[in-house]
Structure 1
Amino acid sequence: MSIPAIQLMTELRSGQSTSPRLTWYGPDSERVELSGRVLDNWVAKTSNLLQDELDAEPGMRLRLDLPAHWKSVILALAAWQLGMEVVFDDAEAELLATADPGPGAAAGGFDAVMAVALPALAMRWQGELPSGAIDYAAEVRSHGDVFMPHVDPEASRRAVLTSAGTVLTHGELLDGFAAAHDDGLRLLVPAGDGLEAALAQSLGAWKGDGSVVLVHPDVVVTPKLLGDERIQGH
């Protein structure tokens, strides 16, 4: 039986696949909208990058040193689809995804460091990268749109280590980590609450066949935004 993250991606790409599933409002008037099909496409490409270039496999850990952002949500879903464990803060991990790939990150004992450029239209990292760091934005687009795991992940493996120190397995991800929401909800998720909260809220919305509007702290949530996006929960 496949793990919940794989089942979730299957449902997002095969249900109302052209409907918005993840919408991002960022600074500088950024608005990025991903349908179920496009979201799955990004997650598949990222899973293939992790597996084929970084030798990621079930049981390995990915530390997300990133704010709540549409790209960090993609990275978490890709790691879970692979059967990896997602960790935050200063937790030990084999792989690191960061928006600050300075010398400290490169020398932190990771097998690989991915530099994640956050501006919406960034096609590559601006400026020099430390030796050995991988440019996520530049590399991910060359990978396949369909993900086939080399090793089938197991539901009993660790999926997330929360900042509070709680460990949840892949089998518990949608029932123990995901927030509870009504079905079909168009949910406002404030990015200022942090990545861990954004992931829990997003998984809860998608579990119920809903969608997410993730909003950067610098963006004012106006009645017009709520109306334009048809937000039902926040």
Structure 2
Amino acid sequence: MCELTVTAALLGPLLDSDPAGPSITYYDDATGERIELSAVTLANWAAKTGNLLRDELGAGPGSRVAVLLPAHWQTAAVLFGLWWIGAEALVGGGADSDGADSDGADSDGADSDRADIALCTAQRIDEADAAVGTGEIAVLSLDPFGKPVADLPVGLTDYATAVRVHGDQIVPERGPGPALNGRSVDEVVAAAARAATAAGLQPKDRVLSTAGWATADDVTTHLLAVYAVGGSLVQVAHPDPAVLERRRTMEKVTRTLE
């Protein structure tokens, strides 16, 4: 039986109802950067990422992908991309359910923090190396113009260079594995809905957030909850308090997550 992925469950309805509308708007107040992606553009980036992971790095259902990235529009593309191929995101550590112990070892004594693949910034390559051992590492520059990572060590994949050659359409995985730190697709989608309710989010809300995505709960509360109500996200890095109120008005923000 075909099962929905997290991407299909949360991004799919936006693609059906408002594909050209803003899905994520990213600001970095330290650099002046502003990038806005529609639902279809975010989906295309997710598809390209999923194809890179599947075709070039050998990922699929059961693959565990360490995501060592900040709250950023490219991180959203990475997450939705790996979920489209049924892989599991590890954010802020290893599994946190289904029998995992708090020290990171599962009930069989295996190291539940071990990943098959890591996606990271250049500043976190050492963490990625520790997470995957002999596994694959792709490094993101997060450059708004798609510049590659400077002086990338031999043997690592430059995300910006590699992802551009992959197609922006994808065949979603029909039998996805665990989705986020040991949680199933259904558990992640349900947790996103609960987080949206707890935050008072309403359908079609335009949500401004300055919060990070350092843990699985952060991802659920500050990213996925927005999509659970069919909303759009204004994500601000290095927020400048002096411009936030003006930005709320300019971006027609209806809710704020901090």
1:183 aligns with 203
Deviations 1:104-160 (A, max 9, x none): 6447514210001123223311x21122100001111111111014x5223xx3111
Deviations 1:63-112 (A, max 9, x none): 01111111111111111111111112342210001103646644751421
Amino acid at match of 2:69: L
Q: Structure 1: 5+ residue runs without aligned partners?
A: 162-166
Verify the 8 A CA contact 1:45 1:140 in the aligned structure 2: yes
Deviations 1:198-232 (A, max 9, x none): 45322111121110011102443521100001111
Give aligned-pair identity as a percent: 30
2:84 aligns with 81
Q: Distance in 1 between matches of 2:212 and 2:43?
A: 25
Structure 2 counterpart of 1:15, from 17, 39, 46? 17
**Would the alpha carbon gap of residues 104 and 225 (structure 1) be closer, same or farther in structure 2, given more than 3 Å must change?**
closer
Give TM-score, length-normalised by structure 2.
0.80
Q: Structure 2: 5+ residue runs without aligned partners?
A: 94-112
1:208 aligns with 229
1:164 aligns with none
Give TM-score, length-normalised by structure 1.
0.87
**Would the alpha carbon gap of residues 9 and 177 (structure 1) be closer, same or farther in structure 2, given more than 3 Å must change?**
closer
Q: What value does the CA root-mean-square deviation take over the aligned residues?
A: 2.1
Q: Distance in 2 between matches of 1:30 and 1:14?
A: 29
Output aligned runs, 1:87-166, within 5 Å.
Answer: 87-90=90-93, 91-100=113-122, 102=125, 105-106=128-129, 108-125=132-149, 127-149=150-172, 152-154=174-176, 157-161=177-181
Q: What count of residue pairs does the alignment treat as equivalent?
A: 225
**Would the alpha carbon gap of residues 191 and 92 (structure 1) be closer, same or farther in structure 2, given more than 3 Å must change?**
same
1:48 maps to 2:51: yes
Tell me which moved more, 40-49 or 107-116: 107-116
Larger-Rg structure = 2
Amino acid at match of 2:141: A
